Amino acid sequence: MPMPFAPRISLSQNARSNLHSLIRAHSTPQSLALRSRMILRAADIDQPSNLQISRELGCNNHTVGKWRRRYHDLGLAGLQDALRPGRPKTIAPPTRVQVISMASTLPQDQNRSVTRWSLDEIATALLETLGTDPISRSSIWRILQDVDLKPHKSEYWLNSHDEDFDAKAQSICQLYVSALESFKHARLVICCDEKSGMQVLDRKAPTKPARPAQRERREHEYIRRGTRVLINSLAVATGQIAWTLGATRKATDFVAHLKRAYQHLPRMKRYDWVMDNLNTHWSLDVCHLVARWCKIPFEPEKLKKGVQRRAFLSDPNHRHVFHFTPTHGSWLNQAELFFGVLQRRFLARGSFSSLKDFERRLERYLKDYNARHAHPYRWTYTGEPLVRDTPFSRTRRQQRHGRACFSPRPKRFERLLYSSRPYRRRAA
């Protein structure tokens, strides 16, 4: 029987680039990558035979000839598998609806003893609860895959019970959006927060730097040299920071930090301080300090309760106004963004021989950050309610498939570099 004709393959630069992309991509099936290699080899100047290509790639020569002819006739689309009609679906639509409905409920709501659905558990529940015909695990898997439903997976999210969550979030976000414009009108927004429990770790062996074809290697075991607390204030309009490093985060520590941070701020008509609801942020000492800054009478007998203190600090008539984030809404504080940078660039791979070594190197990093890397953040979350059927509550994958659920932390911001600093440090 004569061998099928092997057509000549000629590739343009664009076609050759597409084939190489398919080979390099991690998501490309191995069968498609092998077919791409066949075509690239067949397009060589010497036009090798199917038998020669099959020996080089370790496959059958008839397979090479098949995909060579398919590419010659159909182009890149010819390398895809042809559609196979197969056997028609035997599962009726009502059964499919029952499977999806069962997987969309919690097992305990169906009087099941387990806390997570599995394919076997869904099949058993359908048989016992609804009395449907037996259905196989593979059939249930295909039904759930068609609608992108994965009941065996879960993720955490935090629900805020603050009744004024939306109003507080919108108020804080409005401060961020208008921070640069407000700065031009002598109004400065500052974000304060603490990073507590920073462990001073000393690796038991020196870290080995990266080498060609070898990653950086760090010793797994370490010695704990102690902990430190960083209290940080971030100027939203500039990205500049002021910090206090110590061993505790008491009310006296926070007051001392406010005094130090205020010395580094420019003279403004008004200061808006954003912080979470930690009790040290609305202590009586903080109220005393704000009263002295605003040059108003301090009446401690009227500030015995926490509600009274927070109301006093949040008074919009004061020169210094405190804005407290809603419950479980500490992510609204931009100081958390800087702590993320600090964790990745300084703490994650650090090895410190002592507390003094840690403090010295951290001070150096923070000064370098202010001098070279400080910049404001462009805040894109506007404080809209995080409810169902909104872009803020759905991931990209869920938007494509038309499904909505609560997302634990939607992306709300991105960085924006400004060419110049809006203000200079005030002279002492």
Q: Tens digits of per-residue pLDDT, 373-400? A: 999 987 878 777 654 444 443 444 444 4
Q: Say which residues have a Cβ less than 8 Å from residue 66's Cβ, sequence separation at least 6.
A: none
Q: Which amino acid is at 109?
A: D
**383 vs 149, higher pLDDT:** 149
Q: Look at strands 187-203 and 241-246 and give their pairing.
A: unpaired
Q: Say which residues have a Cβ less than 8 Å from residue 199's Cβ, sequence separation at least 6.
A: 224, 226, 227
Question: What values do phi and psi take at 154, rounded to 5?
Answer: -150, 165
In whole angstroms, what is the distance from residue 390 CA to residue 392 CA? 5
In whole angstroms, what is the distance from residue 64 CA to residue 51 CA? 8
pLDDT for res 302: 93
pLDDT for res 410: 37
Pinpoint the alpha helices (H) of 46-164: 50-57, 61-74, 93-103, 119-125, 137-146
pLDDT tier at 135 (50, 70, 90 boundaries)?
confident
pLDDT for res 268: 92
- Taking 50 as the threshold, does the pLDDT of residue 403 lie above it? no
Other Cβ atoms less than 10 A from the Cβ of 291: the count is: 19
Q: Tens digits of per-residue pLDDT, 167-190? A: 899 899 999 989 999 999 999 999
pLDDT for res 44: 85
- Taking 50 as the threshold, does the pLDDT of residue 338 lie above it? yes
Cβ burial of 407 (10 Å; 0-12, 13-18, 19+) is middle
Whether the full predicted model's pTM is greater than 0.85, yes or no, is: no
pLDDT for res 195: 95
Lowest-pLDDT choice from 52-66, 77-91, 227-241, 289-303: 77-91
Lowest-pLDDT choice from 162-166, 274-278, 334-338: 162-166
Q: Which amino acid is at 376?
A: P
Q: What is the mean pLDDT of residues 102-121?
A: 92
Return left, alpha or beta for 197; rule: phi > 0 is left, psi -120 to 50 is alpha, else beta.
left
Q: Say which residues have a Cβ less than 8 Å from residue 208's Cβ, sequence separation at least 6.
A: 216, 217, 218
Q: What is the CA radius of gyration of the chain?
A: 32
